Amino acid sequence: MSTDKVSVHGGWASRWVFILAATGSAVGLGSIWKFPYMVGVYGGGAFVLVFLACIALIGVPVMLAETLIGRRARQSPANALKALALEAGHSGKWSWGAFAGMITALLILSFYSVVGGWSLDYIIDMGRGDFQGVAADQVGAYFGGVIADPWRLTLWHTIFMLLSAVVIAKGVVAGLERSLRIMMPLLFVMMVILLGYSLTTGHFMEGVHFMFDFHPDKLLDGLLPAMGHAFFSLSVGVGSIMIYGAYMPKNSSISGTIVGVALLDTFVSLLAGLALFPIVFAAGLNPSEGPGLMFVSLPFAFGNVAFGQLMGVVFFILVAIAAWSSAISLLEPMVAYLVERTKIRRGWVTFWLAFTCWFVGLGTVFSFNIWQQAKFFVNDGAGFHLYQWGAASGLDFFGVIDFFTSRIMLPLGGLCFVVFAGWVMGRDAVRDELSIRSPFLFALTLFLMRYVAPIGILVVFAAQLWK
């Protein structure tokens, strides 16, 4: 296969645009709140060291695998794996793994859009001053009222999905590249504004100690969480990075670029913690209450500190941008695939896929209100039931989608891609795409892709499945 192929969808203007795109895909809701929270709970500096090691051993090899597959084939993930497998003399059925990953991306987008819609809602609510001076239980009741209203959730879910679809419909250059050139710098600006404000709260060093004090006794407790988050934080396993790699210039170094993306994603996550936790401490809150309180703890914090209303608006704009940049990366792989296979115009493909995701997302919307009592996979002591209305245990619709995608499909997708690059493509093809001159570094990279990353993913898979 010629290595100077170009994608029919276009390409990035430079490696820096790819860095913006890949970082935008990786930096999502989890990076803004979950990672800083995990740092504080699982040992501070000890957790950071373990996390960076796991990024190097698991996250970066999988990201390298996705990127080099995408750039080698210059096609959507499913078509890329099929073409490269046939080129290497293997079965084209490897494409099934990529196709499953693209379906997973759409399922994730279906509920990601709902949560992204909450952030849009809260920009308005915060700007109106709805949280100024209110008590913590009032903020909790407010959020409860938001998710109990299916019409309100559907409205914001619809708006968020439309925003994502508009970017994708315009194409790689006019849509993705142009929007990312605006979104990602704006995300960093918002982060710096929040960080600057945190320095004025009088609790900045308290936040630093919470995140970075070294607690070696918590090292083992944080090992599996660090491995899991290292894998999930880089947005690998669904083909998003692969399709972005298909648009990457041939003269760009994949290895250097991916290491840069991994470090930048980690830096943004740490910066988020340094910006947010001082505000949490200033409001007298416990930062260890959990990662799921973004729409309760922080609105209360912003409502009870000086200039909190303005900073709260900045924060939820930041959250919305992070969610938006991740959402478009989830939609792009399947759009590219269908454009290649059907030759239907990108706008129509995007519309129907976005509508499908929106429709499935209604299940998540209703999980918090009118379908709240609908439970799946119920084990009530009398036996196992696939579905039962009003059961005390079991998963709601949102829980089923989340469990299936995050605990099963994402690890399996990452395993498929790294095994394909390490074992199926062949050494010469991998060496040509990575352009690593040092024989030792290339051998080390191949060893990580062939052995270390797959074993690490299997450990993550087992831990996610049984926790």
What is the SS3 string spanning 391-427?
CCCCECHHHHHHHHHHHHHHHHHHHHHHHHHHHHCCH
Q: What is the dihedral of CA 344, 346, 348, 352, to 10 degrees?
A: 100
Residue 293 CA to residue 317 CA, distance in Å, equals 17
CA of 137: how far to CAs of 93, 133, 282, 353, 441, in Å?
54, 12, 18, 39, 55
Q: What are phi and psi of 388, to 5 degrees?
A: -155, 130
The predicted pLDDT at position 288 comes to 66
Q: What is the DSSP secondary-structure string of 338-381?
A: HHHHH---HHHHHHHHHHHHHHHHHHHHHHTTTTTTEEEEEE-S
User: Looking at residue 467, what DSSP letter applies?
Assistant: -
- Per the document, the length of the chain is 467
What are the residues whose beta carbons fall under 8 Å from the beta carbon of 225, sequence distance 6 or more? 38, 42, 47
Q: Where are the domains of the chain?
A: 15-466
Cα-Cα-Cα-Cα dihedral sign, residues 26, 30, 32, 36: negative
Strands 384-389 and 374-379: antiparallel
CA of 154: how far to CAs of 86, 118, 356, 401, 405, in Å?
44, 10, 14, 18, 22
The predicted pLDDT at position 292 comes to 56
Which element (helix H / strand E) includes 166?
Answer: helix 150-169
Residue 244's nearest CA partner among 4, 5, 23 is 23
What are the residues whose beta carbons fall under 8 Å from the beta carbon of 23, sequence distance 6 or more? 184, 261, 264, 265, 268
Which element (helix H / strand E) includes 64?
Answer: helix 60-73
Residue 176's nearest CA partner among 397, 30, 10 is 10
CATH architecture observed for domain 15-466: Up-down Bundle (1.20)
Residue 98 CA to residue 172 CA, distance in Å, equals 20
Instruction: Please tell me whether residue 384 adopts helix, strand or coil conformation.
Output: strand
Q: How many CB atoms lie within 10 A of CB 356?
A: 14
Full-model pTM: 0.94
Beta bridge partners of 378: 385
Tell me the chain's radius of gyration from C-alpha atoms: 22
Q: What is the dihedral of CA 85, 91, 95, 101, to 10 degrees?
A: -100
The predicted pLDDT at position 1 comes to 45
The predicted pLDDT at position 3 comes to 52
What is the residue-level pLDDT of the chain in tens, covering all 467 positions? 445 677 888 899 888 999 999 999 988 877 887 788 788 778 788 888 889 899 999 999 999 999 999 999 999 999 999 999 999 999 999 999 999 999 999 999 999 999 999 999 999 999 999 999 888 788 889 999 999 999 999 999 999 999 999 999 999 988 999 999 999 999 999 999 999 999 999 999 998 988 888 888 877 888 888 888 888 888 899 999 999 999 999 888 999 999 999 999 988 988 988 998 898 888 887 776 655 568 888 898 899 888 889 999 999 999 999 999 999 999 999 999 999 999 899 999 999 999 999 999 999 999 999 999 988 988 777 777 788 887 778 899 999 999 899 889 999 999 999 999 999 998 999 999 998 889 999 999 999 999 999 999 999 898 877 76
